[in-house]
Structure 1
Amino acid sequence: MSDNHHHDRDDEGDRWKHNGVRVIKGDQLDDNTPQTPGMYRQAAINHARVGAQKIWAGTVAIEPNAKTGVHHHGPLESVIFVLRGKARMRWGDRLEYVAEAGPGDFIYVPPYVPHQEINADPDHVLECVLVRSDNEAVVVNITDVDPVEKPEEVYWVDPIHKRPG
């Protein structure tokens, strides 16, 4: 092996050393994110912290009985993973649909879907991991929604997963 070839490999190794895998410790999250009363968001992965181009990830803690206003995230897709607590999601033009999720459950929110996140537990904080398909914090608040009083409960049903009960 020539010295030049060996030197090139060392340069590449240094490139990955500083631009490769990153570990963000749980106690080093950044709360310099848009905040909502009753909710505490912290960024783990974003452009400012690690140079992410197409993804945002972080945590959210939602106080007992707290809820967001009705909103959507434009073209972004969102995934919420429930760590602790009981999440209730309402969605639709009049928030006419509802589903709940608990620890270990994933929630998928497609682009442009009007929705509201709710901590359904009156006594405990809801803790979740949140991942979005872009680095920009797109939140479009919807103020002219006339919510239905009793939303229709919706279950995810496919040939493998049947409606409970």
Structure 2
Amino acid sequence: MAADPTSGMLRSRAFELPILWAGRVETAPGAISGWHHHDLNESSLYVVSGVLRLEFEGSDDYLDAVAGDFVHVPAYTVHRESNPTDEPSVAIIARAGGGIPTVNVDPPSTRFS
């Protein structure tokens, strides 16, 4: 199912084409997205400021991307994002591939939330 906007995450579109989307996302302190994937879209992001935590289905580990980091999330990769700090985080995101921008899924069985 297509996702509703995530509370605490403000997305601003820079441009949108049939198979390419680019924009900025600001994530409030403590905000946590639901588990989701981006369908056919390959997603790459650059963290401008703060910390953006990414968790992935099938792993108990997480990635804390900080200012200056680039991250790539392959198509259909189930994940969620959060900001574990008390400062906002800002990232620039580009998605290419088309399909549904965000597909909500049930939490992985290896997680409690």
Matched with 2:105 is 142
What letter is aligned with 2:21? W
Aligned length: 109
* Shift, 1:66, TM fit: 0.5
Matched with 2:61 is 97
Q: Does 1:83 align with 2:53?
A: no
* Shift, 1:97, TM fit: 3.0
- Per-residue CA deviation, residues 44-66 of structure 1 (Å, 9 max, x unaligned), is 111xxxxx343110000010011
Map 1:36-55 onto structure 2 (within 5 A): 36-46=6-16, 52-55=17-20
Asked if the contact 2:35/2:107 (under 8 Å) is kept, the reply is: no
Higher helix fraction (1 or 2): 1
Question: Where does the alignment leave 5 or more consecutive residues of structure 1 unmatched?
Answer: 1-33, 47-51, 150-165
- Secondary structure of 2:94's counterpart equals strand
Give TM-score scaled by structure 2 length: 0.86
Higher strand fraction (1 or 2): 2
- Per-residue CA deviation, residues 133-161 of structure 1 (Å, 9 max, x unaligned), is 04555211112522436xxxxxxxxxxxx
Question: Where does the alignment leave 5 or more consecutive residues of structure 2 unmatched?
Answer: none
- Secondary structure of 2:32's counterpart equals coil
Alignment equivalent of 2:91, drawn from 119, 128, 137: 128
Deviating 4+ runs (over 3 angstroms): 134-137
Matched with 1:70 is 35
Structure 1 vs Structure 2 CA RMSD? 1.8
Distance 1:40 1:136 in 2: 21
Alignment equivalent of 1:119, drawn from 63, 83, 104: 83
Asked if the contact 2:12/2:25 (under 8 Å) is kept, the reply is: yes
Give TM-score scaled by structure 1 length: 0.60
What letter is aligned with 2:101? V
Q: Quick check: which has more Rg, 1 or 2?
A: 1
**1:72–1:108 CA distance, 2 compared to 1 (3 A):** same
Asked if the contact 1:63/1:119 (under 8 Å) is kept, the reply is: yes
Asked if the contact 1:91/1:114 (under 8 Å) is kept, the reply is: yes
What letter is aligned with 2:87? H
